[in-house]
């Protein structure tokens, strides 16, 4: 196996610092000043930033599973920057590479390099310079390109400046910054990263056995529905991840609800027949493995 890439000191120091600040946020809440307003802001930030990744970065930009109004795209790009997971252009490029090379060399967060690498190790190491050839469609979107070209500014404004200013309204700017800025950020990181790690290790594979992606209610619960990962890898262009009626997929419900408000449209769905055929194929493959004599 090729050696790991050199350590990215900027990413490593920032991620370590963010974890320290997240711990300080907990101590601040417990021993300095408990504010329901700051805690509420943190919860709101966790919700809108996570949706900006799941519905925006992932299901809108990385996979064109639907279309969205410019105002909605701008919201996703602003709060997606607060997730500190790079620009939407870079995120989508990495994710499309992952789908094209899943479990193989070249997969940015290849689970076969280990759980730690897939979860967060890949972020701590320098990545090759991106060509962005696989996101030519996104390069035509002026909002995506503005965020990409001004990513650092957008991240500072959305992660730090806005929570601090809002906290001034109720006299707790530092608490708001620590809770909505950093405690929320660290929790969101590990939620998102669990799709690259946990969702490739734990769960079922009802739609495809060709890769390590798995469906799990547990990972869906902590990622707003992204945990139905086996379905997603088999049918990446469906706006749903949890395709069955009882699947917990708030991102799907969000996109569908916004379609009734004419903020999203052209929602793409895989035909039921294709889904059923995929399930039947997996059942046949598993049955064949059971009947195949061991050597």
pLDDT tens per residue, range 22-35: 999 999 999 999 99
The residue ranking higher by pLDDT, 293 or 182, is 182
pLDDT in tens, 260-294: 999 999 999 999 999 999 999 999 999 988 876 55
pLDDT tens digits, 131-159 = 899 999 999 999 999 999 999 999 999 99
Average pLDDT over residues 194-200: 97
Mean pLDDT over 183-191 rounds to 98
Mean pLDDT over 211-230 rounds to 97
pLDDT of residue 127: 85
pLDDT of residue 293: 58
Average pLDDT, whole number, for the chain?
Answer: 95
* Alpha carbon distance 39, 185 (integer Å): 13
- Position 130 scores a pLDDT of 86
Give the mean model confidence (pLDDT) for residues 5-24: 95
The pLDDT value given to residue 122: 96
Arithmetic mean of pLDDT, 95-119 = 96
pLDDT of the residue at 5? 77
Quickly count: other Cβ atoms within 10 Å of residue 103's Cβ: 16
Q: What pLDDT is recorded for position 1? A: 42
Token code pair at residue 280: 């039947």
pLDDT of res. 295: 47
Give the Cα separation of 216 and 225 in Å (integer). Answer: 10
Longest dimension (CA), the chain: 71
Q: What is the pLDDT of residue 87?
A: 98
Provide the pLDDT for residue 129: 86
Higher-confidence position of 9 and 292: 9
What are 109-122's pLDDT values in tens digits? 999 999 999 999 99
In percent, how much of the chain has pLDDT > 90?
A: 94
- What is the predicted pLDDT for the residue at 128? 85
Is the pLDDT score of 48 beyond 60? yes
For the record, the structure tokens of 188 come out as 């969101």
Asked whether the whole model's pTM tops 0.85, one would answer yes
pLDDT of residue 2: 47
């Amino acid at each position: 196996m090729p050696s790991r890439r050199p350590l990215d000191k900027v990413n490593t120091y920032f991620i370590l610092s963010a974890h320290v600040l997240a711990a300080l946020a907990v101590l601040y809440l417990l021993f300095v000043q408990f504010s329901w307003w700051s805690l509420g802001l943190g919860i709101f930030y966790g919700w809108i930033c996570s949706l900006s990744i799941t519905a925006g970065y992932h299901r809108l930009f990385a996979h064109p599973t639907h279309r969205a109004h410019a105002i909605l795209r701008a919201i996703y790009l602003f709060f997606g920057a607060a997730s500190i997971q790079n620009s939407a252009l870079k995120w989508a490029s990495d994710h499309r590479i992952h789908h094209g090379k899943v479990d193989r060399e070249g997969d940015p967060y290849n689970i076969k390099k280990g759980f730690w690498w897939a979860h967060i190790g890949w972020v701590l190491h320098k990545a090759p310079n991106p060509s962005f050839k696989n996101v030519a469609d996104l390069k035509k979107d002026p909002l995506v390109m503005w965020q990409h070209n001004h990513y650092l500014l957008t991240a500072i404004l959305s992660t730090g400046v806005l929570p601090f200013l809002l906290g001034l309204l109720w006299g707790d700017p530092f608490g708001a910054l620590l809770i909505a800025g950093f405690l929320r950020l660290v929790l969101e990181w590990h939620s998102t990263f669990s799709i690259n790690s946990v969702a490739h290790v734990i769960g079922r594979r009802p739609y495809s056995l060709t890769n390590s992606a798995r469906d799990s209610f547990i990972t869906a619960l902590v990622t707003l529905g992204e945990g139905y990962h086996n379905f997603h890898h088999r049918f990446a262009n469906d706006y749903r991840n949890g395709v069955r009626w009882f699947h917990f997929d708030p991102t799907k419900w969000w996109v569908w609800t916004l379609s009734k408000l004419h903020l999203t449209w052209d929602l793409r769905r895989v035909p039921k027949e294709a889904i059923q055929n995929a399930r039947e194929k997996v059942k046949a493959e598993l049955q064949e493995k059971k009947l195949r004599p061991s050597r």
